[in-house]
Amino acid sequence: MAKKSAKRPRKTTRPGKFESSGDIGEKLRDITLNGMCEDECGSVTENGHWYGLLTKTGIRGASNAIVVESDQGFFDYETYPSAAAARAKFNKIARELAEEQGEFD
């Protein structure tokens, strides 16, 4: 009978700020650095997180995304089934942030 080897944890090729988002996250970050977000809210210095809305990225598997960067420099994203769904979630985030900062009563 063959001996089973223990599975080793998968090593990430991108430790650090893109650890949870991988290569796609890094490509999305490049897009945000070039000012290509359709909309953005938050601030890493004011509330600890910055959010960007990207619906037309040109990256397979990453259209209709909301990206987020933390005050510690970590970058992540979440995709949605449609641009409308991504916009709705983004608007919710923006409203919650505005309420926290007292912009809406």
Instruction: Tell me how long the chain is.
Output: 105
Let me know: does 6 contact 64? Beta carbons within 8 Å.
Answer: no
Domain count, the chain: 1
The pLDDT tens digits of the residues spanning 60-79 come to 888 899 999 999 988 889 99
For residue 74, is it within any domain?
yes
For residue 65, is it within any domain?
yes
For residue 51, is it within any domain?
yes
pLDDT of the residue at 18: 53
The pLDDT tens digits of the residues spanning 90-103 come to 999 999 999 987 76
pLDDT level of residue 20 (50, 70, 90 thresholds): low
Q: Which two tokens stand for residue 42?
A: 């938050």
Burial of 49 (0-12, 13-18, 19+ CB in 10 A): middle
pLDDT level of residue 22 (50, 70, 90 thresholds): low
For residue 62, is it within any domain?
yes
pLDDT level of residue 24 (50, 70, 90 thresholds): confident
For residue 12, is it within any domain?
no
Domain that holds residue 53: 39-100
Threshold 0.85, pTM exceeds: no
